[in-house]
Amino acid sequence: MTSNTSKTLINSKGEIIFFGLQHFLNDIANGDCCFICGANPKDKEFNDEHIIPDWILRKYNLHKEFITLPNGTKYKYDKYKVPCCKECNTQLGETYEKPIRELLNKSYEELVVELEKNPKISHLLFRWLCLMFLKTHLKDKSLLAERDRRKDEGFLADNYYWEDMHHIHCITRSHFTNAKIENNVYGSTFILPALAIDQFGGFDFIDSQTGKTIMIQLGEIVLIATLNDSCAASTIFMDRMMKIKFPVSPFQLREIVAHLNFINLSLKERPEYMSNINEQGEYKIQADLPETLSLLDEKDRFVSVGKFLRYYVEPMIGEIEEKEKILKEIEEGNRGYLFDENGDFIDHSI
């Protein structure tokens, strides 16, 4: 192993095993190098990697449909791509897309059986969600922050705190580095049955750059993960998740994501992640967890479940009577979609 001044580690083949933080910021967050191997576009052949995998776009007829960006801009799915070197693009297909396409083309019940036979499937799905999350926000580097092109407000990613993405980048490229990811590194992950609402065509997608949470629905299967909490959110929220007895609706999915975002951003003490590489080149991604799991005192919290939920559902509600009153109730935490006044799960299929 050799290292340069930014603590990047390079093996005898010249492969970047670990990106030092500054190297990551320079070449990946602010540069245009391959986000897997780190190659410069001048040195290798590049092509474009779909952010939402092409097999999903085909299955749900999304190529000519539009994703809505955080600033409200519509962007075509078939153009929603990031550059990647051709070699790594092929490797991503072999590592993630082929096995995951096979898994997620099953029914929810069949997927549950597969998970019972091999629980480590959830680790593969988690790493795949990290990959999509990273690609989504790398794309934001090239998307204007302001819909009105006459206003020079820079790009969506200009104000990102990319240091928080370094860990997710390490997870994303773990197939390339052969890193062993210890169990306590994996974040809160849920695999749920979902209502396939016609309005969404069976596909739905949300991610939160601040909350580091991502959700994707494919027909009757939905995957949700918080990527940097070492299961803190699932531990705190598990009692309520256990009450879910029926497939969840799009509104309920957004409320789950809102809760996970809130918990992750309100942890009093956070996990710390590290990459350890020994002299033999064995690479482990590890976590140092706080002794106690608790949330900030209410006066110290800067986000709420209600504010997240309002943000997610306001575009879906449409024009209804007393819309502003309803939205205010949602924001203040007095109206939700998951549980009734007795704390029982609400069945939206009725």
Instruction: Report the distance separating Cα 2 and Cα 13, nearest Å.
Output: 11
Query: Model confidence at 223, in pLDDT bands (50, 70, 90)?
Result: very high
* pTM metric for this prediction: 0.95
Query: With contact defined as beta carbons under 8 Å apart, do 180 and 120 qualify?
Result: no
By C-alpha distance, which of 71, 27, 207 is closest to 134?
Answer: 207
Mean pLDDT of 196-217: 88
Query: With contact defined as beta carbons under 8 Å apart, do 189 and 126 qualify?
Result: yes
Query: With contact defined as beta carbons under 8 Å apart, do 77 and 220 qualify?
Result: no
Mean pLDDT of 34-43: 97
pLDDT at 2 over 60: no
The pLDDT of residue 169: 98
Query: Model confidence at 153, in pLDDT bands (50, 70, 90)?
Result: confident
Query: Model confidence at 6, in pLDDT bands (50, 70, 90)?
Result: low
* Burial of 250: CB neighbours in 10 Å, binned 0-12, 13-18, 19+: buried
- Averaged pLDDT of the chain: 93
By C-alpha distance, which of 180, 141, 155 is closest to 35?
Answer: 141
By C-alpha distance, which of 205, 211, 207, 209 is closest to 155?
Answer: 209
Mean pLDDT of 178-207: 90
pLDDT at 197 over 80: no
Instruction: Report the distance separating Cα 258 and Cα 253, nearest Å.
Output: 9
The pLDDT of residue 199: 60
Of 6-20, 212-226, 326-340, the one with minimum mean pLDDT is: 6-20
Beta bridge partners of residue 286, listed in sequence order: 274
Query: Model confidence at 146, in pLDDT bands (50, 70, 90)?
Result: confident
Q: Please compute Rg for the chain using Cα positions.
A: 20
Of 121-130, 147-156, 187-196, the one with minimum mean pLDDT is: 147-156
Give the domain ranges of the chain.
2-331
By C-alpha distance, which of 54, 64, 37 is closest to 97?
Answer: 54
Between residues 149 and 87, which one has the greater pLDDT? Answer: 87
Beta strands in the chain (DSSP E): 2-3, 9-10, 16-18, 46-50, 66-68, 74-76, 81-85, 180-181, 189-193, 203-208, 213-218, 221-226, 272-277, 283-288
φ and ψ at residue 65, rounded to 5 degrees: -90, 175
pLDDT at 4 over 50: no
Q: Which residue has the tokens 């999350």?
A: 133
Give the H or E element holding residue 85: strand 81-85
Query: With contact defined as beta carbons under 8 Å apart, do 329 and 306 qualify?
Result: no
Between residues 231 and 281, which one has the greater pLDDT? Answer: 231
Query: Model confidence at 5, in pLDDT bands (50, 70, 90)?
Result: very low
φ and ψ at residue 51, rounded to 5 degrees: -70, -50
Read off the tokens for 344.
Answer: 């029982």
232-286 pLDDT, tens digit each: 999 999 999 999 989 999 999 999 999 999 999 999 999 999 999 998 889 999 9
Instruction: Report the distance separating Cα 94 and Cα 45, nearest Å.
Output: 18
C-alpha 183, offset from chain centre: 18
State the first-to-last Cα distance of the chain, in angstroms, to the nearest integer. Answer: 60
Mean pLDDT of 216-220: 95
**271 C-beta neighbours (distance < 10 Å), count:** 18
Mean pLDDT of 225-236: 98
pLDDT at 154 over 70: yes
